[in-house]
Amino acid sequence: MYDKTIAEQSRALARGELSSVELTQSYLDRIRQFDGDINSYITVTEELALDQARAADERRANGDAGVMTGIPLAHKDLFCTEGVKTSCGSKMLDNFIAPYESTVTARFKDAGAVMLGKTNMDEFAMGSSNENSYYGSVKNPWDKAAIPGGSSGGSAAAVAARLAAGATGTDTGGSIRQPASHCGITGLKPTYGRVSRWGMVAYASSLDQAGPMTRSAEDAAIMLNTMAGFDPRDSTSLEHSVPDYTATLNDSLEGLTIGLPKEYIAAGLDADVEQQIDRAITEYVKLGARVKEVSLPNAGLCIPAYYVIAPAEASSNLSRFDGVRFGHRCEDPQDLMDLYLRSRSEGFGEEVKRRIIVGTYALSSGYYDAYYRKAQQIRRLIRDDFLNAFKECDVIMGPNAPTAAFDLGAMNNDPVAMYLSDIYTLSVNLAGLPGLSVPVGMANNRPVGLQIIGPHFAEARLLNIGHRLQQVTDWHLQSPALI
Amino acid sequence: MAIDASEVRKVARLARLAVDDSAIAATTITIGNILAMVDRMQSVDTQGVPPLAHPLEAIQRLRQDEISETDQREQLQSCAPAVEEGLFLVPRVIE
């Protein structure tokens, strides 16, 4: 049953073919058997999961079960989960037991879903390979010499290895889409403001967005139904009505216009990846869509703009980690400055420190206009490029990354090279647009995902487009062989 | 734009981060590389382009000034390193 999608498991639970306790236990057994090698979980909440599974079974017996009731999920370790360790992949929060529940995890709890545990991630969501975690790298279940992608590498690997039926992730610069692509699963970054950020530890407040990571677009739609919606506790949450994302999954794609940005076929896009993307687009043409070249003239500037804006916002958000109210505190602080300097320097890893320094510099007096303000001007140009392109097409398609997953350790000495690989995902966050990644093939035996980008609030359309492909191809049903 | 070690130290201190003497040279080079990459922004003319802070240009939502939260001090301080009588303890601040 662990091989089935959430939709199938939900139907099986409803028919009484198995209990949530059995389903949950099967995942817990698999985690014990396989996760030592993959390292996708930081915390496995075994007893809590079984308690929740028992409660779900009881709820079902009382006729009160919904589609998510009893479904075992994993949550990225930056969602505050009350009473459960919430580490953000960092030594800074290694001792942090969240005193309250995030809106996203609360919604799943209220729906009766089961939490198997908290997944590994790049520290404070900063990274594209899940090699920046205090708890060690996550391995790609398809090829353990490869990265799973990041920062939601643990969630992606857990779903790919069938160590959870679905997982939550977050995406600030590609951190759902890129690991979904590298791990051969489906991942959705919703429109900025679609899903509440309350209780989700902040990295870059104008870019962060939570989303589902699943085995299918249908499952993503099911999870998004629970996750999406206005939350008065998040001041950036938008009051936009939530449709039933599963209702339009089967809509026809006749007449859909797919925009292909000419800037996307750039030097550095791996030929095998390009081939998988092209083949997927051919499937869409067979389904009734047509293709049109569009232009995103400022596409390349997304990298410098993002790597000013995100570090700047992070430098502000991470200033709360000061050894005073929560998190790591150094031994025997001599004075306040010593408390701050040592607590922060001991608690944060190298990449986090780098980004805080870059961000602080970009915001500092004398440099603010040349860096932060300039980056925000470029942000408008990038967003406007998309708005113009969407006058000529319904959605934009392309890769999530220039190559399939690279080897563990391959980019460790060169942060800038790692940043450059984010080129296909960053602009979507800068513009606040929704983006979906669906698996479409392999390159050198490592998964490749197709990225589908839509206008603001087009999640239902994106999921429909992903689902229709998954009805005529079976890439999303493939699973890695686990030894 | 090149950056030197003293500037890196200054910025690090603003961010309340310590950079080891043994690490300062390497950190300066890495930060310099990142800033060099970021300098590509200067290649485009943005004269007259308003900065975009929020991708959908939403404005800050306001609410009524009414008390809606309950006192959860004990619960919320349960994860603090040092607390006494409901106050967070820190090293002496005032000389």
Q: pLDDT by residue (tens digit) across A274-299?
A: 999 999 999 999 999 999 999 999 99
For residues A159 and A186, what is the distance between their CA atoms, to the nearest angstrom?
9
Compare CB distances from A305 to B14, B41, B81 and report the shortest one's residue: B41
In a domain, B22, yes or no: yes
Q: pLDDT by residue (tens digit) across A105-152?
A: 999 999 999 999 999 999 999 999 999 999 999 999 999 999 999 999
Q: Which residue of B has its CA nearest to A230?
A: B61
The mean per-residue pLDDT over the stretch A255-278 comes to 92
SS3 A168: strand
- A310-324, A380-394, B59-73 — which is least confidently predicted? B59-73
Q: Which domain holds residue B28?
A: 5-43
Mean pLDDT of chain A: 97
Q: pLDDT by residue (tens digit) across A153-193?
A: 999 999 999 999 999 999 999 999 999 999 999 999 999 99
What's the pLDDT band for B1 if we cut at 50, 70, 90? low
Chains A & B: contacts with CB separation below 8 Å = 167
> According to the model, what pLDDT value does residue A44 have?
98
What are the structure tokens assigned to A160, written together?
């790919």
The answer to whether A19 is a known catalytic residue is no
Closest-CA residue to A172 (of A391, A428, A443, A478): A428
DSSP A292-333: EEE--TTGGGHHHHHHHHHHHHHHHHGGG-SSSSSS---SS-
Q: Which residue of B has its CA nearest to A344?
A: B17
SS3 A260: strand
A308 touches chain B (CB under 8 A): yes
Q: What are phi and psi of A77, to 5 degrees?
A: -75, 25
Query: Does residue B23 have a pLDDT over 60?
Result: yes
> According to the model, what pLDDT value does residue B95 have?
67
The mean per-residue pLDDT over the stretch A96-103 comes to 97
What's the pLDDT band for A267 if we cut at 50, 70, 90? low
A235 touches chain B (CB under 8 A): yes
> According to the model, what pLDDT value does residue A231 have?
97
Domain count, chain A: 1
Chain A residue numbers with beta carbons less than 8 Å from the beta carbon of B7 are 361
In a domain, B83, yes or no: no
In a domain, B61, yes or no: no
> According to the model, what pLDDT value does residue A482 have?
76
> According to the model, what pLDDT value does residue A109 have?
98
SS3 A89: coil
Q: pLDDT by residue (tens digit) across A320-371?
A: 999 999 999 999 999 999 999 999 999 999 999 999 999 999 999 899 999 9
In a domain, B35, yes or no: yes
> According to the model, what pLDDT value does residue A330 have?
97
Beta bridge partners of A353: none
Domain count, chain B: 1
Q: Which domain holds residue A165?
A: 1-483
Domain of A384, CATH number, reads: 3.90.1300.10
State the Rg of chain A over Cα: 21
* Catalytic residue (choose from A90, A137, A152, A175): A175
Q: Could you tell me where the beta strands, DSSP code E, fall in B1-95? A: 83-84, 87-88
